[in-house]
Amino acid sequence: MSAPSLELIGFSKRFGTLAALDDVSVKIQAGAFHALLGENGAGKSTLVKCAMGYYGADAGEILLNGRQITIDHPRQAHELGLGMVYQHFTLVPNMTVLENFVLSREHVPAVIDWASERKLLKEFFSTTPFAVPLDTPVADLAAGQKQKGEILRQLYLKRNLLILDEPTSVLTPDEADEVLTTLKKLTQDKSLTIVVITHKFREVNAFCDTVTVLRRGKLVGTRPTAELDNDAMAEMMVGQREARAVVERDQRDPGEPVLQVEALSVADNVGQLAVEDLSLEVRAGEIVGVAGVSGNGQRELVETLAGQRHARSGGMKVHGERYTATRPEMIRHKIACLPEEPLRNACVAEMSVAENMALRSFDQPPSSPDGIRLRRAPMRDMARRLIEAYRVKTPGPDAAIKGLSGGNVQRAVLARELSSEGDLLIVANPCFGLDFAAVAEIRARIVQARNRGAAVLLVSEDLDEILQLSDRIVVMFDGKLALQTPGASADVGSIGRAMAGH
Amino acid sequence: MDDTSLGIWGVPLAMLAGAIRVSTPFIFVSIGECLTERSGRINLGLEGTLVMGAMSAYGVALMSGSPWLGVLVAAMVGLLLGALHAGICQLPRVNDIATGIGLMLFGTGLAFFLGKPFIQPKAPNLGAIDLGWWSSIPQVRQALQVNYLFVIGIILAFALAWALKNTRWGLIVRLAGESVDAALAIGASVNRVRLIATSIGGAFAGIGGAFLSLYYPGSWNEGLSSGQGLMAVALVIFARWDPVRCLWASLLFGAAGAISPALQSVGITQGYYLFSAAPYVLTLALMIATCSPERSLRGAPGELGAVK
């Protein structure tokens, strides 16, 4: 296997009126570890999907090892040795690793001899830098192992140019380093060329030799990483724009405990304990950040607090009273909740923006004078006020909320939840998939809530977000708290190790 | 025959006999549905297929004198009904649950309409293997009268389990059921895979129907199936989409169905109708026990039940 070079020349792609790509050219050297950097919507994914044949580009030429080729279908790309690893997993969860690998091969025999396939794959794994258990259903693998499996499958299929789309977003820093280090070695041996889509500067600096920056569908430039520092990269990425808004936080001491979680145990979808004997306290006027790699019980914890899931044992208290996440309790204690994927977890997608914004208060005056009849006009008025105050981009209060972009759904839900001036705010991954401007604004709103005295529980997979916002940081690993530390004196190294279970 | 000679031992024996006799249609329908669901499609119309199979098998056996020809025709009818379901479900914006219910009503209605002339005459029965030759007790001998289709059903369950695990075809069926994207990525036609799986599933259900009319109870009338096709569909969920577990579950249901006649045979006649409801109660109890709003079922095909 020898690493190929790839050149994309003059790629353009329009979706309707939006120019997703506008005359972008990139040259990727043989054996390069090439980063593709850019904000959400900069066109990184569109570019590689055009190259892989998922989209037909409006214009553009591909040179592989200097020879012009055409790729109209992903299968053609695969035959040429191009492979892609996605942010989300593509291994089939209900099948074992072995079944997944054999099935993805070009020619599968009519009757499969599992003994010999297992032997062949074991031999293959002895030549690869890492291995995954063969007979485990993929659903039972940890995120890091799944991602390793995805990469191993590409190598197994003899792909020698890999495009990785944010491959480390679900991994701990240690896992990410392990995977990227071994891939780096393969590129240095000139047996693999790698293009990695990322927004993590740390990984670009540590592993990539060249970086191409895209902004709003246009090429900003391709430079050796050695010539760039973080500030220069950030400037290429976001352009001339005011720097990230520093969140203003008042100096204040935390007040009375608002939320107390006591020895809580919660089962996950397959009946196993996802949260185990967890105790936690959030006081008025403080943000407690829950760090951790996804899948360590954070989702189940938030679902329990939001009333979407029942606890198996243990309990919760709000303002010292027993709390079981019923609607009357949430209203009485002024609890606000911004769960992850708000379109799915906190909205009715088919309903209008105004109706969604009224979900907490539709059966109370003024939206309903008696709890039976509904009045549209006050709902719409309130929605208009919130749309303006939180700058939700929507055609109007009567538009269906599913038509809004992710950031605007997030803003709409945050507007609804914060408008009641809650005492307890539960937030999960509030900035996932949003661009810089939206991120800064939503973080500022969360800190504002804290400044006025609300207790905030912030669950996030983004460690930077946790570090930036939290007064106190806890790390969740395998359903338990692995570490508790004050935010001001937090040591990133020990947090990272706790996230990885050390 | 002296019914009381075995005393209370007659009950488990009768339940064993029932498990063998009554379970056969459950085995065929549930294995067929298992295959269909593993490919990512639900066919609720198997109740209709079962009744159509029973009627056509009986009619053909009556006219040709050959019960096995009847079984073959029942399988063909089932195949066609399965293919019809698959074909309709391939159309855009068609829901397979609604289509299945439609085909269930269509199948039973058509069978009653076409089967009117076959209610009175007596068709030849399928034969049985006498496994009770060693015993002198008549009940034991009777209980161990095993029909060929029962044996074929057991073989089919193991064969399907093997094929789903060890053949390219089986893996592609599972892939179509787990992830349409992954199936497309390896170049498999999801619609074609599901067409084949649904058709074969229909054929199995048709054979199950042939057993009803040609062996036990062994005649054709409109109350023949009484929902066994639907219960078999529920049974697949209980069996976690595993053909061999479908087999065990079918035997369990067969035994439950035999409780009431077995109790009657030892003289317990109180609550006859209550015990007749045992399979239905069992269905409900199992569904409640195995379903939970907070747990997703392990082993459920990923593409199943996705609302399109």
Of B294, B299, B301, the CB nearest to A309: B294
Residue B11 near residue B262, CB atoms below 8 Å: yes
Q: Is the pLDDT of residue B2 over 90?
A: no
Out of A374, A401, A420, a domain closes at A420
Residues B76-88, mean pLDDT to the nearest whole number: 96
Nearby residues of B47 by Cβ (< 8 Å), 6 or more positions away: B104, B107, B108, B225, B227, B228, B229, B230, B233
What pLDDT does residue B297 have?
67
What pLDDT does residue A240 have?
58
Alpha helices (H) in B144-242, listed in sequence order: 148-166, 168-178, 180-185, 190-214, 228-238
Out of A176, A203, A238, a domain closes at A238
Residue B199 near residue B46, CB atoms below 8 Å: no
Residue A483 near residue A489, CB atoms below 8 Å: no
Q: Indicate if A55 and A174 belong to the same structural domain.
A: yes
**Contacts A–B by Cβ distance under 8 A:** 58
Report the number of distinct structural domains present in chain A.
Answer: 3
Q: Indicate if A412 and A432 belong to the same structural domain.
A: no
Chain B residues with CB-CB distance to A309 below 8 A: 294
Q: Is the pLDDT of residue B257 over 90?
A: no
Chain A residues with CB-CB distance to B303 below 8 A: none
Q: What is the pLDDT of residues B83-102, one digit of tens each?
A: 999 999 999 888 899 999 99
Chain A residues with CB-CB distance to B174 below 8 A: 92, 94-95
Out of A420, A443, A474, a domain closes at A420
The answer to whether position A244 is within a domain reads: no
The answer to whether position A68 is within a domain reads: yes
Q: What is the pLDDT of residues B144-196, one digit of tens each?
A: 888 899 999 999 999 999 999 999 999 999 999 998 888 887 888 999 999 99
What pLDDT does residue A4 have?
93
Q: Is the pLDDT of residue B282 over 90?
A: no
Band of pLDDT at residue B3, cut at 50, 70 and 90: very low
Q: Which residue of A has its CA nearest to B178?
A: A92
Q: Which of B38, B39, B164, B171 to mutate to test the interface with A (most CBs of A within 10 A)?
A: B171
Q: Indicate if A146 and A170 belong to the same structural domain.
A: yes
Chain B residues with CB-CB distance to A306 below 8 A: none
Q: Indicate if A301 and A450 belong to the same structural domain.
A: yes
3-state SS assignment for residue A69: strand
The answer to whether position A1 is within a domain reads: no
Q: How far is B254 from chain A (nearest CA, A)?
A: 30
- Please give the full DSSP string across A390-403, using - where no structure is assigned: TT---S-TTSBGGG
**Which residue segments constitute the domains of chain B, with CATH numbers given?**
3-290 (1.10.3470)
Chain B residues with CB-CB distance to A271 below 8 A: 292, 295
> What is the CB-side half-sphere exposure of residue A29 using CA atoms within 13 A?
15
Distances (CA, A) of B151 to B58, B129, B148, B158: 21, 10, 5, 11
Query: Per the structure block, which two tokens stand in for B162?
Result: 């093997």
Q: Indicate if A216 and A281 belong to the same structural domain.
A: no
Band of pLDDT at residue B248, cut at 50, 70 and 90: very high
Q: How far is B297 from chain A (nearest CA, A)?
A: 7
Integer Cα distance of A478 and B225 in angstroms: 50
Q: Which residue of B has its CA nearest to A140?
A: B298
Residues B198-218, mean pLDDT to the nearest whole number: 94
Of A92, A108, A111, the CB nearest to B182: A92
Tally Cβ neighbours within 10 Å of residue A346: 22
Q: How far is A489 from chain B (nearest CA, A)?
A: 39
Q: Indicate if A159 and A284 belong to the same structural domain.
A: no
The answer to whether position A22 is within a domain reads: yes
Q: Do B178 and A95 touch (CB under 8 A)?
A: yes
Q: How far is B163 from chain A (nearest CA, A)?
A: 8
Q: Indicate if A96 and A107 belong to the same structural domain.
A: yes
The answer to whether position A339 is within a domain reads: no
Residue A301's domain spans which residues?
Answer: 255-334+422-502
Q: Indicate if A297 and A151 belong to the same structural domain.
A: no
| β-pairing verdict for A257-267 and A455-459 | unpaired
The answer to whether position A30 is within a domain reads: yes
Q: Indicate if A385 and A299 belong to the same structural domain.
A: no
Q: How far is B111 from chain A (nearest CA, A)?
A: 39
Extended beta strands in A436-500, E state: 455-459, 472-477, 480-486
SS3 for A138-189 is: HHHCCHHHHHHHHHHHHHHCCCCEEEEECCCCCCCHHHHHHHHHHHHHHHHC
Of A92, A112, A270, the CB nearest to B168: A112
- CA angle (A123, A127, A129) in 5-degree steps: 130
Q: List per-residue pLDDT tens for chain A, 502 residues long.
A: 588 999 999 999 987 777 889 999 999 999 999 999 877 668 888 899 999 988 888 999 999 999 999 998 888 898 899 999 987 778 998 899 999 999 988 788 999 999 999 999 999 999 887 888 999 888 888 777 888 899 999 999 999 999 998 887 777 777 888 889 989 998 999 989 999 988 777 888 889 999 999 988 899 999 999 998 877 887 787 665 444 445 677 787 888 999 999 999 998 877 788 899 999 999 999 999 998 877 788 989 999 999 989 999 999 999 999 999 998 999 899 999 988 888 888 999 899 999 999 998 888 888 888 888 888 999 999 999 999 988 888 888 999 998 887 778 888 998 998 887 889 999 998 887 677 777 888 888 899 999 999 999 999 887 778 888 999 999 998 899 988 999 888 887 788 778 767 6
Q: Indicate if A194 and A277 belong to the same structural domain.
A: no
Q: Do B175 and A93 touch (CB under 8 A)?
A: no
Chain B residues with CB-CB distance to A112 below 8 A: 166-168, 171
Distances (CA, A) of B197 to A134, B29, B71, B106, B202: 28, 13, 20, 21, 9
What pLDDT does residue B100 have?
94
The answer to whether position A246 is within a domain reads: no
Q: Which CATH number characterizes residue A497's domain?
A: 3.40.50.300
Integer Cα distance of A472 and A1 in angstroms: 50
Q: Which of B162, B168, B304 to mutate to test the interface with A (most CBs of A within 10 A)?
A: B168
Q: Do B178 and A93 touch (CB under 8 A)?
A: yes
Q: Which residue of B has its CA nearest to A99?
A: B171
Residue with tokens 């990227």: A180
A9 CB-contact burial (10 Å; exposed 0-12 / middle 13-18 / buried 19+): middle
What pLDDT does residue A182 have?
87
Q: Indicate if A179 and A265 belong to the same structural domain.
A: no
What pLDDT does residue A333 have?
92
Q: Which residue of B has its CA nearest to A74?
A: B185
Q: Indicate if A214 and A75 belong to the same structural domain.
A: yes
Q: Is the pLDDT of residue B308 over 90?
A: no
Integer Cα distance of B211 and B229 in angstroms: 13
Q: Where does residue B41 fall: left (phi above 0), alpha (psi -120 to 50 degrees), or beta otherwise?
A: beta
The answer to whether position A248 is within a domain reads: no
Band of pLDDT at residue B143, cut at 50, 70 and 90: confident
DSSP secondary structure code for residue A227 in this structure: G
Point out the least confidently predicted range of A435-444, B209-218, B219-228.
A435-444
Residues B210-232, mean pLDDT to the nearest whole number: 89
